[in-house]
Amino acid sequence: MKKGHHRLEVMSHYYGKRIQQDMSNFVKWILLALLIGGVVGGASSLFAGCLSWVTQFRADRPAVVLLLPFGGLLIVFLYQKIGKEDRGTNQVLSTIRSQDEVPLRSAPLIFIATALTHLLGGSAGREGAAIQLGGSIGNQLGRWIHLDEEDRHVIVMCGMSAAFSAVFGTPMAAAVFAMEVVSVGVMYYAALLPCVVASLVAYDFAGSFGIHPENFHVTGIPAFSMENGIKMGIIAVGCGAVSIFFCLLLEYVSKGYDKWMKNPYLRVFAAGCLVVVLYWILGTDRYMGAGNQLIEQAVEHGQTQTFDFFWKMLLTALTMRAGFRGGEIVPSFAIGATFGCLAGQIMGFSPSLSAAAGMTAVFCGVTNCPVTSILIAFELFGFQGVSYYLLAVAVSYAVSGYYGLYKDQTIVYSKYKAKYVNRHTKT
């Protein structure tokens, strides 16, 4: 009787201690996620508002693009003097795997440099800045709170999710992206709760500051059938090929700069001049900045020009690999939307739907994040075309192979077999 009573006490103590530990971790991450969501959400809302202002300023004063080469010199000067060791988004991914550490100074540097790039008409996105902004703030808060190494990895992911959510207005995709992008095939589920909470808090924070998500109305969505599925599959194959070409173009432009213009100041100035000349030859400002107007025209109205996707690719590669700052993801949205729209027109398929599917398919191809891609489609376009978005993302994920935007991203499991490969992406 006494033995049974003693055993019951031991078990009660053991399970009570485990429950207490689990609840302690639960409360800890709820509180930390609320903190990260608020701090990063506030900083990212300020960043998004600043980008909106500089974009409008540039639109009202087109001649400001002539200052792009000089703005590039200032950006390079800042990074040479303050952030020489900064490796952009790759550094954030390495921090999560304990191979590097993203410093706090990355946050103000990327904020200023990205705003300057957008102000002067560089073809660049904003997600790279958001990821670095959130990752650097999260890492520094983790150090101040004296979190251990494993917990600091999670808080960096929280910062990434919060920034992505505030800037893009897609909290579901933002929560998953930080867990999915680092190691393809392995999800960091320990970060699920804090990433979701931080993402939702930052999203609400941004909304209270008037930073509202962009939602697109997709038209002409036909009933799913074998014929329509085949058409979408063909378009998705093209999107997978475009994503590979975009990654290769970024790599070869980077190698060309390294070979012919080793001096960073000469490189960014010459590239800025080249971009300005191309804008003048093309006679349009449609490729400046992130490319939101290209996306809106393609998805909302089913309209695009034949070579929109190519010019956006080329100008983004020339801008981003020269030393300007921002990111390649929103330009990849624009590339995918315009290519998908064009492909839909050629095949006699809904150009609006093809643009929406193409946008998510190319994003998946360059980031290797299929779950995030599907969630982005849901949040931006709704659920009516779900079958087409799922098919486009799945096909592009397979076709795009092991290419990607981030050289520090790891493909843990093969895309084609249940096999452990553990290889870095080709960039």
Say what the pLDDT of residue 86 is: 58
Burial 152-178 (b: 16+ CB within 10 A, else e): bbbbbbbbbbbbbbbbbbbbbbbbbbb
pLDDT band for position 22 (cuts 50, 70, 90)? low
Say what the pLDDT of residue 16 is: 63
Distance in angstroms (rounded) separating the CA atoms of residues 135 and 157: 7
What confidence tens digit (pLDDT) does each residue in 272-309 have?
A: 999 999 999 998 889 998 888 999 999 999 999 999 99
Distance in angstroms (rounded) separating the CA atoms of residues 412 and 418: 11
pLDDT at position 62 over 90: no
For the record, the structure tokens of 391 come out as: 């098919």
**Which amino acid would we find at residue 371?**
V
- What average pLDDT does range 227-245 have in this prediction? 96
Within the chain, all domains assigned CATH 1.10.3080.10 are found at: 17-209, 226-424
Say what the pLDDT of residue 133 is: 80
pLDDT at position 205 over 60: yes
Phi, psi values for residue 408, rounded to 5° = -90, 5
pLDDT at position 152 over 70: yes
Nearest one of 140, 139, 87 to 109, comparing CA atoms: 87
Please give the angle made by the CA atoms of 214, 153 and 36, to the nearest 5 degrees: 50
Do residues 359 and 340 lie in contact, with contact meaning Cβ atoms separated by under 8 Å?
Answer: yes
Say what the pLDDT of residue 89 is: 57
State the average pLDDT for the chain. 87
Q: Is the pTM of this model over 0.85?
A: yes
418 φ/ψ sector (left φ>0, alpha ψ -120 to 50, else beta): beta
Phi, psi values for residue 110, rounded to 5° = -70, -30
Say what the pLDDT of residue 84 is: 60
Task: Return the number of other C-beta atoms located less than 10 Å from residue 77's C-beta.
Answer: 13
**Which amino acid would we find at residue 388?**
Y
Q: Which CATH superfamily is domain 17-209 in?
A: Clc chloride channel (1.10.3080.10)
Do the bridges between strand 420-424 and strand 183-184 make them parallel or antiparallel, or are there none, so unpaired? Answer: unpaired
pLDDT at position 104 over 80: no
Distance in angstroms (rounded) separating the CA atoms of residues 221 and 349: 9
pLDDT band for position 10 (cuts 50, 70, 90)? low
- What average pLDDT does range 250-274 have in this prediction? 92
Say what the pLDDT of residue 25 is: 81
**Percent of the chain residues topping a pLDDT of 70:** 90
pLDDT at position 101 over 70: no
Say what the pLDDT of residue 406 is: 81
pLDDT band for position 85 (cuts 50, 70, 90)? low
What confidence tens digit (pLDDT) does each residue in 115-151 have?
A: 999 999 989 888 777 778 888 888 888 888 888 878 8
- What average pLDDT does range 337-350 have in this prediction? 95
**Percent of the chain residues topping a pLDDT of 90:** 49
pLDDT at position 106 over 80: no
- What average pLDDT does range 247-274 have in this prediction? 92
pLDDT at position 246 over 90: yes
- What average pLDDT does range 215-220 have in this prediction? 89
Phi, psi values for residue 421, rounded to 5° = -120, -35
Say what the pLDDT of residue 96 is: 55
Say what the pLDDT of residue 227 is: 94
What confidence tens digit (pLDDT) does each residue in 327-337 have?
A: 888 899 999 99
Say what the pLDDT of residue 146 is: 84
pLDDT band for position 208 (cuts 50, 70, 90)? confident
Helical pair 171-180 and 149-168, crossing angle rounded to 10 deg? 140
pLDDT at position 2 over 60: no
Ordered alpha helix ranges (H), 120-225: 127-144, 149-168, 171-180, 192-208
Q: What are the residues whose beta carbons fall under 8 Å from the beta carbon of 115, sequence distance 6 or more?
A: 47, 50, 51, 54
Q: Which CATH superfamily is domain 226-424 in?
A: Clc chloride channel (1.10.3080.10)
Q: What are the residues whose beta carbons fall under 8 Å from the beta carbon of 232, sequence distance 6 or more?
A: 349, 354, 357, 388, 391, 392
For the record, the structure tokens of 410 come out as: 């790891």
Say what the pLDDT of residue 95 is: 52
For the record, the structure tokens of 340 come out as: 């998908």
From residue 410, how far is each of 207, 363, 425 by CA, in Å? 34, 17, 6
Do residues 357 and 236 lie in contact, with contact meaning Cβ atoms separated by under 8 Å?
Answer: yes
pLDDT at position 57 over 80: yes
Please give the angle made by the CA atoms of 83, 87 and 92, to the nearest 5 degrees: 110
What confidence tens digit (pLDDT) does each residue in 177-190 have?
A: 988 888 888 888 88
